[in-house]
């Protein structure tokens, strides 16, 4: 059953609050943002000091200009901390990210908890600049730090019955004020087919902009699946389960007509309440900059279209 809620109204036509408040500052600094030959030459804005993550540049990165850090960390969907885009930066810092472990469960040979510090050492870190496209028709370009999720998969050794991977987000009532809202069935859950999870682009991320992840962006560990809408990239993960059957996912359970299991970025499949044909890039002035055309698979079609050969991408949205 489709339940329309005020906070689910599309924000694509609204100038983000950080942009509205800092438009002149953005225009001054926008010239400095960008990439040249795969290395960063401009400013990301004020990045708070944190634990630096050493990482090599990745050939999988886009050459698009990176979104300013203040926008990427200040305009966030993380409903456990509130439904307004500005809520997570206010409430998320209260969440403790140490100690932290991720439980590996299901159809794998090596089950059990993995400490976050051990996860950080599992494989060499890469810095990947990925597009992030949200179902609400806004987008960003973010430099993530992590390594391919396939590195973890290889080490836990899935059985022949493993066909899907499910992700579960932490429930922390003390800091997650959004848990009191009847938005979703908590804890937040997401899932991928195993071959999607094993794709080289699927990133197990521990940082962004060269530093450890801010809490509001999914600290201390999250998934980034750049060809899917943003809600597929589960944040603050505490459990990874390998399953034989397609797992239930939070938004698909809440409104299957609006949020399909696959949720690949597709300009030809509209959300029931707004078009997905265009998008607004956060950090670009909402009044003067025309919308961008949405790219199939968010611009990663050459890499991932083969995963869906023979599938009806409108039916299996």
- The whole-angstrom separation of Cα 287 and Cα 292 is 13
List all residues 6 or more positions away from 237 whose beta carbon is below 8 Å from its beta carbon.
102, 167, 168, 169, 170, 218, 221, 222, 223
Residue-wise pLDDT for 22-35, tens only, equals 333 333 333 233 33
Examine the pLDDT at 136 and tell me if it is beyond 80.
Answer: yes
- The whole-angstrom separation of Cα 286 and Cα 297 is 24
Residue-wise pLDDT for 260-271, tens only, equals 999 999 999 999
Compute CA distances 2 → 83, 251, 299, whole Å.
18, 11, 30
Q: What is the pLDDT of residue 90?
A: 97
User: What's the chain's average pLDDT?
Assistant: 88
Model confidence band, residue 286 (pLDDT cutoffs 50, 70, 90):
low
Compute CA distances 195 → 23, 98, 150, 181, whole Å.
42, 31, 9, 34
The secondary structure element, H or E, covering residue 103 is strand 101-106
Q: What is the pLDDT of residue 43?
A: 57
- The whole-angstrom separation of Cα 55 and Cα 182 is 40
Structural domains of the chain sorted by starting position, each given as residue range(s) with its CATH number in brackets:
24-308 (3.90.420.10)
Q: What is the pLDDT of residue 48?
A: 78
Strand bridging mode 126-133 / 112-115 = unpaired
Counting beta carbons within 10 angstroms of the beta carbon of residue 74, is it exposed (0 to 12), middle (13 to 18) or buried (19 or more)? buried
Q: Which residues pair with 128 in a beta bridge?
A: 144
Residue-wise pLDDT for 46-89, tens only, equals 787 679 999 999 999 999 999 999 999 999 999 999 999 999 99
Per the structure block, which two tokens stand in for 117? 């510090």
Examine the pLDDT at 164 and tell me if it is beyond 70.
Answer: yes
Q: What is the pLDDT of residue 287?
A: 61
């Amino acid at each position: 059953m489709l339940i329309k809620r005020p906070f689910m109204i599309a924000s694509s036509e609204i100038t983000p609050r950080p942009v509205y408040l800092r438009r002149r500052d953005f225009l001054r600094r926008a010239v400095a943002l960008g990439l040249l030959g795969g290395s960063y030459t401009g400013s990301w804005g004020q990045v708070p000091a944190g634990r630096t993550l050493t990482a090599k540049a990745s050939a999988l990165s886009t050459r698009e200009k990176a979104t300013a850090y203040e926008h990427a960390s200040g305009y966030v969907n993380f409903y456990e901390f509130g439904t307004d885009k500005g809520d997570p930066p206010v409430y998320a810092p209260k969440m403790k990210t140490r100690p932290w472990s991720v439980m590996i469960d299901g159809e794998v040979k090596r089950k059990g908890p993995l400490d976050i510090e051990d996860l950080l050492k599992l494989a060499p870190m890469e810095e990947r600049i990925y597009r992030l496209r949200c179902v609400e028709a806004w987008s960003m370009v973010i430099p993530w730090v992590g390594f391919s999720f396939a590195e973890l998969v290889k080490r836990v050794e899935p059985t022949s019955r493993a066909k899907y991977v499910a992700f579960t987000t932490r429930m922390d009532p003390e800091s997650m004020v959004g848990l009191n809202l009847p938005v979703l069935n908590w804890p937040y859950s997401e899932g991928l087919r195993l071959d999607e999870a094993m794709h080289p682009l699927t990133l197990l991320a521990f940082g962004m902009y060269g530093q450890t992840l801010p809490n509001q962006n999914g600290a201390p560990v999250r998934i980034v699946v750049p060809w899917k809408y943003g809600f597929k990239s589960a944040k603050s993960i505490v459990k990874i389960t390998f399953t034989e059957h397609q797992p239930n996912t939070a938004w698909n359970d809440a409104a299957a007509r609006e949020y399909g299991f696959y949720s690949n970025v597709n300009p030809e499949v509209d959300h029931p309440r707004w078009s997905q044909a265009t998008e607004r890039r956060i950090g670009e002035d909402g009044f003067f900059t025309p919308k961008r055309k949405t790219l199939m698979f968010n611009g990663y079609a050459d890499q991932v279209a083969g995963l869906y050969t023979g599938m009806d991408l409108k039916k299996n949205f």
